[in-house]
Chains A and B, each alone.
Chain A
Amino acid sequence: MTNAIELKGLRKTFGPMVAVHDLDLVIPQGSLHGFIGPNGAGKTTTIRMIMSILFPDKGEISVLGKKSAIESKDQIGYLPEERGVYKKMKVGPFLKYMARLKGVPPQGLENKVRAWMERLDLAGLYRKRSEELSKGMQQKVQFIAAVIHEPELIILDEPFSGLDPVNSRMLRALIDEQHEQGKTIIFSTHQMSQAEALCDRVVMIYRGHKVLDNTPAQIHSRFDPRAISLEPVTPTTDFSTLLHIPAVESVKAVGRQLHVQIRERFEAASAIPQIATAVPVRRIEVIRPTLEDVFISIVQSSTNPAEHAALIESLRASGSGAGGPGAMPAGFLVGSGARGDQGGD
């Protein structure tokens, strides 16, 4: 399998600010990649460099086998974060114009535009001025403009922002469909749930660094907190019975719940029967981190610069795609309950 995109040592600065630090990234053809990261992390800058809208200060880019996206623009569909329409232009002519700019031949173009509009519930708006459309409708028009030329590579910057749940679901189905057709798709998002549900692979960019590049499953296992959450039938502060279990390292009370940290050489799941025997429980489960938890914890750890540096280093050292469960950096807490400490070991 060839790679749709290869980035090597990409670096971009705006004045004193380094927007992207020596970024390496490989996106194989046919994959569905999610870019996640907080605002200002460098996602859009990276995407703009891939699109040759911005040019890197250092590093190499290869897009669809070409040295720059300029040479392969017609094979790329791009929905930018800063997107708009010509307010006075009618929807149909606008889409035709964008398609013509991307090299779609004029024959049958109108039918094609109409077919797409119908699919996205925009039928009957062909002759409407773009300014008369709602924001969600405009976004769908922009999505059509990004894919109407049947590109091999589709880059969507924040495609879900501003969409209601119904349209979000529609867009997700469309992305899935394009993916099934073998298109390479990259999309950036804040909505971790979207990324988790859709992506083959998730890349997290934070402060210009790539801090994660893995499949969602690998991320889960890697950020496995080796922790169990349980709710005793009768509230208790006596953890002694639990601490006698060999697999248990520490216990912490969080509200009515107890958080049990499991020792490294034990499986969290296999410790459940022993814990349940020791303390009668109403509910017991292994804590599964969501991407959101990972995201938030990475962002929060940055409030302590030393911690942050350690985290970045550990993430970089563990390498992208290795997938092995990396050591949890000190103070790197996952799971909502882990905050708001009370008592503890």
Chain B
Amino acid sequence: MAFKTFQVAKREFMATVLTKAFLIGVFIVPIIITASIPVATLLVSTRAPAVKGTVAIIDQSGGSEGLVAAALAEALTPDAIEAQQKIQAKEDTEAVAGEIEARLGKEKAEQARIGTAIAGANTPPAPDITPEILSPTADIDSEKQKLIEGTTLDGSRLALIVVDPAAVHRPASDKPFGAFQVFVKSKLDARAQRAITDQVGRALIRARLAANGSNPDDVLAMTALPRVRAQAVTAGGDKSTGEMQQYILPIAFMMLLWISVFTSGQFLMTSTIEEKSNRIMEVLLSAVSPMQLMTGKILGQMGAGLLILCIYSGFGITSLLYLNRTELLDPSNFIFLIAFFFIAFFTIASMMAAVGSVVTDIHEAQTLMMPIMIVVMIPMLLMMPIISNPAGRMATVMSFIPPISPFVMVLRMSSVSQPPPMWQLLAAVALGVVTVFVFLKGAAKIFRIGVLLYGKPPNLPTLIKWIRMA
């Protein structure tokens, strides 16, 4: 009898794995996504649209005989903006290169520097701005009106800067400084807006420092500090810690589980529907019992799911090896991942098999899929809250709600700072085993009746009635 189940499983596995849909879904899509990241980066960093026009300055800060306004005008010239962009690009490159050097060594860091330098040659041209200093008493509202006219290319007014009265000189040392307001043309590109705001802000700080009698260059150099990363001390050497453990790993584990379970569950449902709509069900049932058929199909799809899991974890482990970060992987995590895979798979698969067995085409399946979709979407929606507080009450409660329990546990177990206690992991596994048993039993009852049923698909209450029947 087990032999027949095995035959069904074998066919199910082969029929699933050796299809174009599977190959495309499992291999080609991730490859395309990975390959498209550099392309996407290039596309995103393409040049901002050219911008040409005036930026008017109303300096209400008073004193200094228009020096502040002059400094702002100076900072807004294309040359000044371009110089600042170059400094920024260099800092960014160094930050990335430093990160790479820490992980992969000097050689790779050098390659990255060269790569970014090449990309840097591609930096967008600075907006072509002509500063225009207005009288401090100019009417702001009527000046703002000028922003409405013209385009961002015809040399008309692009922005209006209004410097607050206390922006440079405080009325008293316990009072706060004022700042400035920026009004822009509604169609002005966001990058140009940012360049203007940043330049004005910087110039204002320098003006304050100068007004205070300090040398702005010295003070800025003294207050600048490169980004520093904490380094965790481990037996294998110092490693910088970061978001990797806190976010990437739980998300990766959860996505692994989710994709493998959901994909193979979908395959199970569609293949069951296919057998029904092709009217092959009864031919099969002349050779095997409904239970053997369902078990065989579930086992075959489990093979497909495990294959997906292996392929993707393979990708993951390879990239961790490449990044020299294998210490992040705890072997016990993999054991639990596999355990939770089986639990999640059998739970979802039994629901999918039940739905597939009672409908005759994929459209009819939609309504019955709703509860399953809710179950599989909950962990996705709660992913971020659970990761940021993996030992919180919500995470703990969710860990013991049957169909979503394995997903939540997989999210929690890779947390470095607050891993779930072992008893919770084991309790979740025990609960999972019971859940699987109950779900499979219910699905078997529905499957047995459903596979030979044609016509209008039953609704949920009917399905529950079937489960209750003998």
Inter-subunit contact A101/B452 (CB<8 Å): no
A268 within 8 A of B: no
B8 within 8 A of A: yes
CB distance from A339 to the nearest CB of B (A): 36
Residue in B274, B279, B286 whose beta carbon sits within 8 Å of that of A51 in the complex = B286
Q: Can you list 14 A-B contacts (CB < 8 A)?
A: A51-B286, A52-B289, A53-B285, A54-B452, A78-B283, A82-B282, A82-B454, A84-B283, A87-B274, A98-B283, A101-B7, A101-B287, A142-B283, A146-B286
* 0 or 1 for each of A138-163: is its CB under 8 Å from B? (1 = yes): 00001001100000000000000000
B278 within 8 A of A: yes
CB distance from B453 to the nearest CB of A (A): 10
Q: How many Å lie between the Cα of A86 and that of B12 in the bound state?
A: 11
A73 within 8 A of B: yes
Contacts of A84 in B (CB 8 A): 278-280, 283
Contacts of A52 in B (CB 8 A): 289
Q: How many Å lie between the Cα of A82 and that of B452 in the bound state?
A: 9
A88 within 8 A of B: yes
List residues of A (83-111) whose CB comes within 8 Å of B's CBs. 83-89, 97-98, 100-102
Query: How many chain A residues have a CB neighbour from B under 8 Å?
Result: 29
Inter-subunit contact A80/B11 (CB<8 Å): no
Contacts of A97 in B (CB 8 A): 7, 11
Residue of B nearest to A86 (CB): B280
Which of B285, B289, B454 has the most A CB atoms < 10 Å from its CB?
Answer: B285
List residues of B (287-331) whose CB comes within 8 Å of A's CBs. 287-289
Q: How many Å lie between the Cα of A54 and that of B452 in the bound state?
A: 9
Given known contacts A87-B274, A97-B11, A142-B283, what 19 new A-B pairs fall within 8 Å (CB)? A48-B282, A51-B285, A51-B286, A52-B289, A53-B282, A53-B285, A54-B452, A76-B286, A80-B282, A81-B282, A82-B281, A83-B279, A85-B278, A87-B278, A88-B19, A98-B283, A98-B287, A101-B287, A102-B287
A70 within 8 A of B: yes
Q: How many Å lie between the Cα of A85 and that of B466 in the bound state?
A: 28
Residue in B278, B279, B286, B452 whose beta carbon sits within 8 Å of that of A73 in the complex = B286
Contacts of B288 in A (CB 8 A): 73, 101
Which 4 pairs from chain A and chain B are nearest by CB? A84-B279, A78-B286, A80-B282, A101-B287
Contacts of A88 in B (CB 8 A): 15, 19
Residue in A53, A76, A89, A100 whose beta carbon sits within 8 Å of that of B452 in the complex = A53
Inter-subunit contact B283/A73 (CB<8 Å): no
Contacts of B274 in A (CB 8 A): 86-87
Inter-subunit contact B15/A89 (CB<8 Å): yes
Contacts of B282 in A (CB 8 A): 48, 53, 80-83
Contacts of A86 in B (CB 8 A): 15, 274-275, 278, 280
Residue of A nearest to B287 (CB): A101
List residues of B (436-466) whose CB comes within 8 Å of A's CBs. 452, 454
Residue of A nearest to B3 (CB): A103
Residue of B nearest to A142 (CB): B283
Contacts of B7 in A (CB 8 A): 97, 100-101
Contacts of A83 in B (CB 8 A): 279-280, 282-283
Inter-subunit contact A82/B279 (CB<8 Å): yes
